[in-house]
Amino acid sequence: MGDDIGEKKADRVLPNNDGEPEKLAEKGTILGEERQSYDIALSKDGLKLHPQPTADPLDPLNWSFAKKHTILAIVMYMYFMFTYITTTTVPSFPELQDSFGLSYSQVNWTVAVPALGLAFGPLFWSSLADIYGRRIIFIIGTVIALAATIGAGGAKQYGGYMAARFFQGFGVSPGATVGMAVISDMFFEYERGQKLGLWVLSLDAGLLVGPIIGGFIDLVSAEWIQWLTAIMFALLLVLELAFMSETLYPRNNMLRKLPLAVDANQADIEKLDCEKADVNQVDLRRTKQLSFFNLKPVPVGLIIWGVSIDKGYHWMVGQIAFFIFAAGIQMGNTVITSYIVDSYPLQSMSVITFYSVLLNLSAFVNPFFIAPWEAASGFTWTFAAQGIITFFLSVPVFATLHQFGPSLRAKAGHPSWVNPEHDS
């Protein structure tokens, strides 16, 4: 920086993205009197803020708490529907078998097909969201899912029902990759752990709440399960149109043209010059210094559930098993999502797309072999085998990443691409 460094604090009134005035507090160092050139923005704890906020009121990082969390709730709503559509129809399997003349295996495929749409969708929507924006992709996806749900509710043939189910999954799939991008657009890196946890919680809630709601609605009819889902998509569409603002923001380009502007309650640029300690003097266990302890409730829940069905235990035993299974799914999804985004923050859209495709391809494949497997081996060994495979595959993989993750990423080299907001 130059020799003539001053400090300036000012309050400005700027228009927000809705055209209303919004007060924006600025605090930072300036170079002479020619042009404001703000230093690196730090949190109140002295941590560098990432991404760096600008003085632009259209910057999603500058939006109010209420606006950010309203949009977060909409993103969570869509991610809830992501898994809700696949499981809410499970209680209606007997009615679907009677209506379409299906075998047990064929009715299981009605869960697999929307998962295929969920796997294929992120490959299609992610790039479009980086070009045209997040909001328009959410709206188009919701319209497709709504139309497909109406089609599924009125389907008279098995083929038409399966086609509608595929497009249900395809339409709601932006809730995964594009939803994560919206969260990254609005929140600083130190805030994302909690927000991603809530986001993943909505995914797992849809998976587990879907059959409960479907079971009650199935008392009316199997078709009404789809009509209720259509109402839920219609409500989501109204919320997107009314309250969801566009969050795609060309941050790198704007940082070149505008000074940093930081709310005084969340950042303090004066701490930039604080003394830094030597790394060997920091007495804080971190990353590879932490002990490796991998709690995996997923296989435990699977095994208990399979045994409880085979042995005819009280139904509550199976529900406890499902609770343990759900806890493992929630912990696993949250940790994996946070880990890959932390490992590749500039490529977060791509890595989440890859993760989402693999996750939903596994959900697509499973119904094709689970029924024959159960018929041949029984519930105990079918689910015990899945629990054993999960444990002995997951623990070594996570242990390897815990110990050698940084060196493996270093050997692989840096990706040659970044998210569009980081592209200069």
Give per-residue pLDDT as tens, 121-135: 999 998 899 888 899
Share of the chain above pLDDT 70, in %: 77
Q: What is the residue whose two structure tokens read 């600008």? A: 54
364-414 per-position pLDDT tens digit: 777 777 778 877 888 788 878 888 888 888 888 888 888 888 888 888 888
Q: Which two tokens stand for residue 282?
A: 């920091």
Q: What's the rounded mean pLDDT across residues 43-68?
A: 80
The continuous run of DSSP H or E covering 170 comes out as: helix 158-172
CA angle 65, 240, 135 (to 5 degrees): 85
Q: Look at residue 138 and tell me whether its pLDDT is greater than 80.
A: yes
Q: What average pLDDT score do residues 146-154 get?
A: 96
- Please tell me the distance from the alpha carbon of residue 75 to that of residue 357, in angstroms, as a whole number: 19
pLDDT in tens, 229-283: 999 999 999 999 999 999 988 887 777 776 555 453 444 333 334 444 444 554 5
Alpha helices per DSSP H over 133-270: 134-154, 158-172, 174-186, 189-217, 222-243, 251-257
At 345 the pLDDT is 79
CA distance 158 to 109: 11
**Mean pLDDT over each residue of the chain, to the nearest integer:** 78
pLDDT of residue 285: 52
Residues 173-186 have pLDDT tens digits of 999 889 988 998 99
Instruction: Kindly tell me if the per-residue pLDDT of 61 is higher than 80.
Output: yes
Q: How confident is the model at residue 171, as a pLDDT? A: 96
Confidence class of residue 335 from pLDDT cuts 50, 70 and 90?
A: confident
Q: What is the pLDDT of residue 81?
A: 96
pLDDT tens figures, 158-172: 999 999 999 999 999
Model confidence at 324, pLDDT cuts 50, 70, 90, reads confident
For residue 330, pLDDT over 90 is answered with no
